Every structure is written in structure tokens, then in C-alpha cells.
Amino acid sequence: MDDVNRSDLEVTPYAALAFAIFAASTSAILVRWSHAPSSVAAFYRVLFTTVIVAPIALYWYRDEFGRLSRNDLGFAIIAGIALAVHFAAWFESLNHTSVAASVTLVQTQPIFVAIGAALVLGERVNRETVIGIVIAMIGAAAMSLGDAGEAPISDATMYGNALAILGAITVAGYVLAGRSIRQRVSLFPYVTVVYTACAVTLLLLVGAQGHDIVAYPPREWLLFLGMAIGPGIFGHTIVNWVLKHLESVVVSVAWLGEPVGATLLALALLREVPDAITVVGGLIVLAGIYVTTIERERRRRPETD
């Protein structure tokens, strides 16, 4: 998969990214259907994803593990820990602040990715990128306001807000690490290390919280497996493939499309009808993604042709 010529990837990475974001959107539905503690669901989602990708990595890329530099291995482990902290911080923030505040603050991650990409990766943040980020985040904030009736923003606590921001920072670190390391390391060895580190971190969290590890009915195990295949394999794993071919800021802004996909799935599967603010916000998010990806790529091509 990593050996495809760059000339064949002018369109494919964007299509793959769109598919991955839609697959990631199934996470909210599967979590809603599950009655297991959120940290347990997150743990098994990552564990089962690891069980799927690890045999492929060990069979086809066994020699590459031995060639991993200490820096790449170390930062891949840090990326996995960051992903686990993202899951834990964001889920916990929902217990202390409003849904609107939590979702809005965790969706500030493109700002942190843009800053990190410029300072650490040397990726140029041009006008189209900034405009796209602003538009998409306005839309994300509008979609979040559609949930404000559940828990007024005025009731939000500083602790919950801080956890949501921590979730944004850590997922930004995860994206930036993937963008950097994936230039040198094949997909399956990289995600195997990342997912293993993430699963171990989440297992420690589940133990610290005192949740049961195995006493769940068959329905829950099927949902855990669905989380691994949908949001895990077809979501995060494909995003990590895309990170070799597209800049981290583009991927980060496109990820704001996840709430849009989740809203459409909730309408179809849960009969949750979005209000007008949510619909308008979703359209604005899509406009921001368009500016950051399609329009940005169109304007860039004359410079590279």
C-alpha cells in the first residue's frame, strides 16, 4: 500500500480520507448502542484493532521492526499514549461540562495541528488553510450549539473545559506524530506500535477506574468488534495511511467532518432529527473542508505542474 507511485495518488488520498472520516463517524453510533463504560469500550476497540493489524505487520513487515530508529519507536509509543489520553480526557470531560462546550473545545484540534505543523514539521500554513480552518471551526461550533439544550454552556466547569482542551492537544500530537513518522515507516508497523501503546494505556486506565474487564454480554463484544473494524481499521488506520500523502492540517480539518457523518447516521439509525442550527453548522463544516482540501489543492497544482 505504501509503495504506490505518488503520481497515482493525486485523487486517491482525498477519497480515502473521505471514506475514513465516514467510517470514524460510526463510532458515536456504536458507543451509543453500547452499555459498557466508555473507557472499556475504548480499550477493546483499540485492542481488537491491534489484534487485526499486528499479524499483518509481523508477517509482511517483520524485518522493518528491527530497522525502526529509537526516535521513531519512541515517538510512535508517545503517539499511542496521546491517543489514549485523548479518548480518556474527552470522554471524562462530558461528565463535568456541557456537551456543547466539550465538543466545541475538542474540535479546536486543527489550531494545534496547524501550529505544530508550522513549528515542528515545517509545513507552510497558507491563506486557504487558515480560511478553511476558521470556516470549519465556525461550523463545528454551530453544530455543538445544537446540543446546548441538554446542558447549558453556563453550567460548564473549568475542569471539564480543560479536559476537552487536553483532548484536542493530544489528538493533535497524535496526528503530527503520524505525519512525521509515516514518511519513513510503513503503515502496519507504525499503527501496530501506536495501537499497542494506546491499548496498554487504556487498560491501565480501566484498572484504575475499577471497571470489570470481561463480564459483558455477547452483544457488547460484537459492538467492540464493530468499533475496531469501523472506526479503528477503516477510520484511524486509513487516516494514518493518508498522513503519508497529505499534510497534517488538511487531515485535521477534514476530521471535523466526523460530527457531520455521525449526525447523518444518527438520523438514519437512531431517528435523531438534527435541528436547523446543526444542519447549517454541518454545511459550514463541509465548506471549510472544501476550502482546506479541494480548493487548496486546485490552487497548489499550478505551482507544482
pLDDT at residue 157, as a whole number: 63
pLDDT at residue 295, as a whole number: 61
pLDDT at residue 145, as a whole number: 67
Which single residue is written with the C-alpha cell 444518527? 266
Of the candidates 139, 59, 46, 158, which has an alpha carbon nearest to the alpha carbon of residue 101?
Answer: 158
Low-confidence ranges of the chain (pLDDT < 70): 1-11, 94-95, 97-104, 144-157, 294-305
Which tens digit of pLDDT belongs to each residue from 90-111? 877 766 766 556 666 777 888 8
pLDDT at residue 101, as a whole number: 62
Do residues 109 and 252 touch, judged by C-beta distance below 8 A? yes
pLDDT at residue 9, as a whole number: 43
Which amino acid is present at 74?
G
Of the candidates 185, 158, 224, 202, which has an alpha carbon nearest to the alpha carbon of residue 74?
Answer: 185
Name, in order, each residue with C-beta under 8 angstroms of 134's C-beta and a sequence gap of 6 or more: 288
Q: Cell numbers of 130, please?
A: 487558515
Estimate to the nearest angstrom the gap between the alpha carbon of 264 and the chain centroid. Answer: 18
pLDDT at residue 213, as a whole number: 93
Domain spans of the chain?
A: 34-138+150-251
Of the candidates 182, 261, 243, which has an alpha carbon nearest to the alpha carbon of residue 9?
Answer: 243
Q: In which element (H, E) is residue 293 found?
A: none
Name, in order, each residue with C-beta under 8 angstroms of 217's C-beta and a sequence gap of 6 or more: none
Which sign, positive or negative, has the C-alpha torsion 237, 132, 91, 120? positive
pTM for this structure?
0.80
Length of the chain: 305
The count of other CB atoms within 10 Å of the CB of residue 99 is 18
